[in-house]
Amino acid sequence: MKIGYVIAGSTPTEFLATLDPERPIRLYEYVAVDSVEIPPDVEEAVQVRLVGQIVKMIRDPYQLKRDIPLYNVVEGVSHDLLEVQIAKVKILGYFWNGEIHMPKLPPRIGAPVYLARDDEVAELYGSGELCVGRLSARPLDICLDVEGLKRHVAVIAATGSGKTWFSVVLIEELLKRGASVVVLDPHGEYVAARDTAQRLGGVGALTVKVSGHHAGDVMYRIGVLDMDPDDLADAAGVPPKATKIRYSIYLAHALAKAAYEAGARRMGPRGLTAILSAALRGDQNLRRSLKQWGVDGEKIDEKVNELAELAKKDRHSIFSAAAYLRRLARLGVFAAKTTPLGKIMADLTVVNLAGVGDEIQDYVAWHMLTRIFRARVRHVRGLPGVKLEKPVVVVVEEAHRFAPPKSARRTRSYEAVSRIAAEGRKFGVYLVVVTQRPSRVDPDVMSQMQSQVIMRIVNPKDQEAVRDSSEQLAQDYLDNLPGLDRGEAVVLGPIVKLPAVIRLRDRLLDYGGADISLVEAWRRQDVDVAAVWTRIFRSPPPPSAALAASRISVKSAEQDGGVWKAVTSDGAHVELSIESGYAKCSLCGSSGCAHVYRVLSEVVKVRRAA
């Protein structure tokens, strides 16, 4: 179908075309132009068909000057005003012997411009394995090349543009192909994805938590004797200049390690606190305690004397060190033994970092990524020790928290992220970094993310960071980023043959990153729900239940006698009776959960309507 003509600016990479102003042609549409070219290994020019994409569109009045007051002019000629529609077309290439080649000759001025056929567009992108959506301009599926993950991926978007949506869809596609995926989740948004992983069939999933008050299947623990004493002090929050407190922790750590090597049990933060407390009661008390643990005093006499002397001269430092270690023990992450790597690895492992401070999140991220990377190195090189046989894709949410520019601040996890970015492809550890602020991610890390999924970005600094980190992002695509709809993205790099503008498909897994509906959360009927809840459970509903319930929908609900039976969107079977004060949830095993709250809201609404 002919839609226009080449009119100006014709080069081997782009041209301007005038289009039929009465025909609606959308941005990112694919067009074709017949041209002549001298393909590789051919001596004479032959006829080829160039395929391109519209990257910019403008409508202008024909020959109407811009430097005069327009209102009166336009009012007088509005019915006879001629309009032109101009499109800038980026040439994507032509096919020759089954391969895409870029032309070396520009198309002729006046050459007709046609809508490209669906088969031509489909051939441009080939057949990948990770089917994440369709082209924005055509109802054609777009499937990314799984081999492109070897060069890492950056997912970049402003808040609310769909970056977590894309990440979940990508995780689904990876799991379908047998991948092992680890998600570093600072806010617990992916816990819902783990809870709904059964929808994919045959996928093993678990949540690793670092706070006892948050959702998780396994508590991640780090053995303090496996840590460097300075790292232990950092994790405890000891200021860098508090040298005596740090030295106290160092001495307690050294004595605990000596006790373990002598055959005593491994100590956690509380064990180190016990050593410091013994030192405060005098060196003889400390020696008796160590002897009970099987430590020969002569072998560690120097450390005992140093700690005892410090306890005499500066008891405050010992007290403070013990206080820091007690606080560390209360977190639950730092303990006597490190959680075995095999216990936390599944097809999908969501590391729920919610509930602890930035310093602890940073250390846990570094610790876990380092263990995964080393396990893969051992497998590839045949070294002794814990190994991981399957390659691992690591999704780092809020990447700017873990790998900020070195000039801004230093994080421990930066070491692990940057090493995987630089060396991971050799050992089968691949990164997917997700961020809303690319300008706050270290540029060395971003430069290693050779594939990029870029969604709506408005901030000029972030646009500049994206441009600097991408060799393929043309200025025209960059200019269009603020105009992308939610769920639309520019995809480029090794994961796709040519840059593509796509629209994401619907996801199967749930996630908790969506905004809360304030209208839903603040509905007046919630007052009634709270009253009924209080009557049933003898206490008001927790705010967390109401907020979590706003993200859940009820698929079906029916009344059987005095008992309501309902199924929620995430597969929970809920039974409740307002009259009998009875409620049960199949997923949570609890009567006072968000699923019960959501079903109770539905029941209250039905009863009010009746």
Angle at 274 between CA 331 and CA 341, to 5 degrees: 45
What confidence tens digit (pLDDT) does each residue in 307-346 have?
888 888 889 999 999 999 998 888 889 999 999 999 999 9
pLDDT reading at 107 higher than 80 = yes
Strands 205-209, 573-577: pairing is: unpaired
User: Please, what is the Cα angle at 529 between 524 and 534, to 5 degrees?
Assistant: 130
Comparing CA positions, the residue from 87, 103, 7, 104 lying closest to residue 51 is 103
Q: What is the pLDDT of residue 237?
A: 87
pTM strictly above 0.85? no
Q: Coil, strand or helix: which one is 524?
A: coil
Cα distance between residue 487 and residue 456, in whole Å:
9
Both structure tokens of 429: 């550890």
Alpha-carbon gap, residue 398 to 418, rounded angstroms: 15
510 and 350 Cβ atoms separated by less than 8 Å: no
Residue 458, judged by CB atoms within 10 A of its CB (0-12, 13-18, 19+), counts as: exposed
Identify which has the larger pLDDT, 151 or 577: 151
pLDDT in tens, 196-214: 898 998 899 999 999 887 8
Residue keyed to tokens 């990314």: 144
pLDDT of 76 higher than 80: no
Whole-number pLDDT of residue 431:
97
- Nearest to 514, CA basis, from 486, 478, 477, 481: 486
Cβ neighbours of residue 393 closer than 8 Å, sequence gap 6 or more: 149, 174, 179, 180, 181, 182, 430, 431, 432
Q: Is the pLDDT of residue 519 over 70?
A: no
SS3 track for 130-165: EEEEEECCCCCEEEECHHHHHHCEEEECCCCCCHHH
The yes-or-no verdict on residue 521 having pLDDT over 70 is no
* 24-28, 103-107, 231-235, 582-586: range with lowest mean pLDDT: 582-586
> Average of pLDDT values for 538-547?
75
pLDDT at 566 > cutoff 80: yes
Contact 452, 153 (CB under 8 A): yes
Residue 521 near residue 551 (C-beta atoms within 8 A): no
Confidence of residue 133 (pLDDT cuts 50, 70, 90): very high
DSSP notation for 297-319: TTTTHHHHHHHHHHHHH-HHHHH
Give me the pLDDT at residue 298, please. 62
SS3 assignment, position 96:
strand
Q: Which residues contact 57 (CB under 8 A, 6 or more apart)?
A: 25, 27, 85, 86, 87, 88
- Of 65-69, 196-200, 203-207, 378-382, the range with the lowest mean pLDDT is 65-69
Laid out side by side, the sheet with 488-492 consists of 141-144, 130-135, 500-504, 488-492, 451-454, 153-156, 429-435, 392-396, 180-185, 348-352, 205-209, 218-219
How many other CB atoms are found less than 10 A from the CB of residue 586?
Answer: 13
Element (H, E) at 478: helix 475-480
How far apart CA 315 and CA 91 sit, in angstroms, is: 75
For residue 53, pLDDT over 90 is answered with: yes
Buried b (16+ CB within 10 A) or exposed e, 83-105: eebbbbbbbbbbbeeeebeebee
- Residues whose CB is less than 8 angstroms from the CB of residue 66 and which lie 6 or more positions away in sequence, other chains included: none
CB distance 396 to 156 below 8 Å: no
How many angstroms separate the CA atoms of 573 and 564, rounded?
A: 11
Strand partners, 429: 392
DSSP string, 534-575: HHHHSSPPPHHHHHHHTT--EEEEEEETTEEEEEETTS-EEE
Say if residues 512 and 192 touch (Cβ distance below 8 Å): yes
126 Rama sector, left if φ>0, alpha if ψ -120 to 50, beta otherwise: left
Give CA–CA dist 207/209, Å, rounded. 6
Q: Report whether pLDDT(223) > 60.
A: yes
Neighbours of 572 (CB within 10 A): 22
Question: First CA to last CA across the chain, in angstroms?
Answer: 58
Cβ atoms of 463 and 501 within 8 Å: the answer is no
Report the pLDDT value the prediction gives residue 286, as an integer from 0 to 100. Answer: 79
Q: Greater confidence, 548 or 138?
A: 138
* Residue bearing the bigger pLDDT, 203 or 80: 203
